[in-house]
Structure 1
Amino acid sequence: MSRFGKLEFGGDFEEQSAQPAVAKDEKFYLSQARGAFEGADFEQALRAYSKVLEHNPHNTGAWTGQVRALIELEEFHEAKLWADKALERFPNDPELLAAKAVALGRCGDLDGAIAFSDASIEERGDTPYVWLARGDVLLARGEKRADYCFDKALVLAAADWFVAWLAARIRVFYRQFTLALKLAQQALELNPDHAVLWLCAGGCQKELGLIGPARRSFQQALELQPHSHETQAALAALSETSVGERLGGWWKRRFGS
């Protein structure tokens, strides 16, 4: 079955559980999707959002969530196609327009990306995600105005660690590790008990040649989430970091973003 088939029908999501039965309705799967997204389990988030749409195909947040999860998985072409499918139903939804803008920008269609980003704002899209998406598009276009967009998103989010983390992930994608680390640290100030934030910070520190701090960040992530294969792999890779890579990290800190 294709990626779209799995999104359309939900795939194999249900699992056997000894826990007491709970009402698995639209609200339940929205909570599951949000939790998976916040934990950087984007495949699980995709499946949960598809279950939301089985209960309510008019939930624009679930359509947008699927597009955003595909972008996080770096499946940009699929994200664009799924955004098109959603926009056939909801052509004026600002966050869907914003998500398509990001997909286009990361596919290299910079003119299309800015056009859809403009449209998302014209539809009174004054949400943190619309501005994060705007910043993403402007980074793809190499424009310094992106900084304003991230600041605007963070102001609108009112001390939300999730938005700071998403902004950090965007900066990481464009290899702006110094700025990404600052955002990850901002997220950690708001939610120091979330393993993925330490993992994000550690990844930035490693890229910047800050091996000791990166190790401490990864160890903290592993303490919070002991069975994380990703964190275990990150720690193992850290021990193999070469002198050349450390010098490269110094260069990024000195001359990079």
Structure 2
Amino acid sequence: MTNDPKRKTGNTDPGRNAGRTGKAGKTDQTGNTASGRLKKALAPYEKVLTKNPDDAAAWAGKAAVLLRFHVYKDSLKAFDKALEIEPLNPGYLFEKGFVLLKLEREEEALQAFDWVLEIKPESDKTWNLKTSVLCRLGQQEKALAACEKALASNPKIAGAWHAKGTVLSDLDSYEEALKAYDEALKLNQNLARTWEGKAFVLYKLDRFMEALNAYDTALKLNPNNAKTWVGKGLVHLRLSRQKRALDTFNKAISIKPDFAEAWLYKGEALALVDKDEEALRAYERALKIKPDYAEAWKAKISVSSKLGIEMDEEDMEEEWKEEWKEEKPEIKRSTWTRKSDIGVEIKNAAKEGKYNKFGKKEDQGPEIKRNTWTRKAQEGEETKKYMGKKTDKKRGGTERKTGKRKEQKK
């Protein structure tokens, strides 16, 4: 079965990408429809099940194919059939939990993950998803208690140490989080998402060069994690390395083209080198992916004003206009997005010269808050992390008008 982290940030495997069309009418470069590819992928499992309907592995294989093609309800039914035959198979239970997350049934998913941890307490990916879901539900203390309980009975569970670090980081206890991540890495040096988590807390502690080293290690272990590339790019921005930051954001986009946050920060990097028109296009791309992305709207308005482009009021939906009037935009949370407007803070810090070329603060720089979500995946997961419920509201059309340029005063 596919490692959950790779589901989250994107996977370059052509078989997985083929299934992402999701519509029967879609065709790939060879002219095959998605429904045709799904039918072909299911065929060997259907053949086995016709002969032996009690083959748990065949049911699980069928479920995995359906999951890959985003047919979640049927995938869940197939995993349930597999579990009727092998009720204590931790792999099937984990995948069932993951499908339940895709169906936004978090409480049931947590039950499945608890079963996995009863059978296989050292499962780091299960700890990762369980704590991520609890944090998303605002139950950080419960998540931390679960980690402490597990470590009290067995202090050599790397996944529990990683999960503890994730929760502590979410609670802004960065020094303690760093200690927990280090404990996890003492037990297992090959945990990409733990290196990513460590990199983030080092970044929060203004230890930028150490953060870069940790991100590099994470990327050696999992080079296809778009979220990790974005994290590395943010460090480069804080070090005033706009060109390197832009390269890393482009890398993230090449892995996951629909990663709205990567487009936002690409826009910030472009704006910092006065490529405002390109920055505007990047912000518009972020908004096409995520129409209610408050930070992207604010950035678009700012750069549009700089370019002399008047934003029509109809371009902004009423709920967002009201929030901006109050200067309290609601920012939807994802695995790695921060609470504050990072791009603006980085931009201001760079202009004010608060960071020298080595990234050391010459005076107090802006504080960047971290968001509730952590190594999602990060899916993840690209380490796989659970990104939580899809919060974007479907709206009629995501294209935005750029407005008309203001007439130049004569």
Give the 3 Å change call, closer, same or farther, for CA 106–239 of structure 1 in structure 2: closer
Give the 3 Å change call, closer, same or farther, for CA 200–246 of structure 1 in structure 2: closer
1:84 is aligned, of 138, 145, 148, to 145
Residue type matched to 1:165 in 2?
Answer: K
What's the CA shift string for 1:21-69, capped at 9, x where partnerless? 4434432432564x69xxxxxxx59557425326534464233223245
Return the alpha-carbon distance in structure 1 between the equivalents of residues 131 and 230 of structure 2.
19
What are the equivalent positions in structure 2 for 1:145-160 lying under 5 Å apart?
145-157=210-222, 159-160=223-224
Runs of 4+ in 1 over 6 A off after TM superposition: 245-248
Return the alpha-carbon distance in structure 1 between the equivalents of residues 132 and 218 of structure 2.
16
- Asked if 1:134 corresponds to 2:198, the answer is yes
Structure with more contact order per residue of length (Cα contacts < 8 Å, sep ≥ 6): 2
Return the alpha-carbon distance in structure 2 between the equivalents of residues 107 and 247 of structure 1.
21
- Asked if 1:240 corresponds to 2:305, the answer is no
- How many residues in Structure 1 have an aligned counterpart in Structure 2? 220
Return the alpha-carbon distance in structure 1 between the equivalents of residues 115 and 132 of structure 2.
20
Return the alpha-carbon distance in structure 2 between the equivalents of residues 126 and 19 of structure 1.
31
User: RMSD of the TM alignment (CA)?
Assistant: 4.3
How far did 1:115 drift? 2.4
Give the 3 Å change call, closer, same or farther, for CA 221–141 of structure 1 in structure 2: closer
How far did 1:103 drift? 3.5
* Alignment correspondent of 1:52: 112
* Alignment correspondent of 1:29: 97
- Asked if 1:187 corresponds to 2:215, the answer is no
Contact kept? 1:198, 1:220, Cα under 8 Å:
no
Return the alpha-carbon distance in structure 2 between the equivalents of residues 19 and 188 of structure 1.
26
Contact kept? 2:212, 2:232, Cα under 8 Å:
no
* Alignment correspondent of 1:252: 350
Return the alpha-carbon distance in structure 2 between the equivalents of residues 146 and 203 of structure 1.
23
Secondary structure at 1:168's aligned position in 2? helix
Give the 3 Å change call, closer, same or farther, for CA 103–191 of structure 1 in structure 2: same
How far did 1:156 drift? 0.8
Identical positions, percent = 14
Give the 3 Å change call, closer, same or farther, for CA 82–188 of structure 1 in structure 2: same
Contact kept? 2:181, 2:197, Cα under 8 Å:
yes
Return the alpha-carbon distance in structure 2 between the equivalents of residues 249 and 186 of structure 1.
21
Return the alpha-carbon distance in structure 1 between the equivalents of residues 199 and 279 of structure 2.
27
Give the 3 Å change call, closer, same or farther, for CA 135–185 of structure 1 in structure 2: same
Return the alpha-carbon distance in structure 2 between the equivalents of residues 98 and 20 of structure 1.
31
How far did 1:133 drift? 1.6
Residue type matched to 1:186 in 2?
Answer: K
Structure 2: where are the runs of 5+ without partners? 1-70, 80-92, 307-342, 360-410
How far did 1:155 drift? 0.6
Residue type matched to 1:252 in 2?
Answer: A
Residue type matched to 2:283 in 1?
Answer: F
How far did 1:202 drift? 4.8
- TM-score, with structure 2 as normaliser: 0.42
Contact kept? 1:83, 1:96, Cα under 8 Å:
no
Give the 3 Å change call, closer, same or farther, for CA 171–104 of structure 1 in structure 2: farther
How far did 1:120 drift? 0.8
Return the alpha-carbon distance in structure 1 between the equivalents of residues 283 and 98 of structure 2.
29
Give the 3 Å change call, closer, same or farther, for CA 64–252 of structure 1 in structure 2: same
* Alignment correspondent of 2:328: none
How far did 1:131 drift? 0.9
What are the equivalent positions in structure 2 for 1:102-117 lying under 5 Å apart?
102-105=166-169, 107-117=171-181
Secondary structure at 1:86's aligned position in 2? helix
Contact kept? 1:131, 1:149, Cα under 8 Å:
yes
Structure 1: where are the runs of 5+ without partners? 1-17, 37-43
Return the alpha-carbon distance in structure 1 between the equivalents of residues 235 and 142 of structure 2.
21
Return the alpha-carbon distance in structure 1 between the equivalents of residues 185 and 72 of structure 2.
44
* Alignment correspondent of 2:364: none
Residue type matched to 2:192 in 1?
Answer: P
Contact kept? 1:94, 1:124, Cα under 8 Å:
yes
Residue type matched to 1:216 in 2?
Answer: R
Greater C-alpha radius of gyration: 2
* Alignment correspondent of 2:292: 230
Residue type matched to 2:204 in 1?
Answer: A
Contact kept? 1:131, 1:150, Cα under 8 Å:
yes
Give the 3 Å change call, closer, same or farther, for CA 207–152 of structure 1 in structure 2: same
Residue type matched to 2:158 in 1?
Answer: P
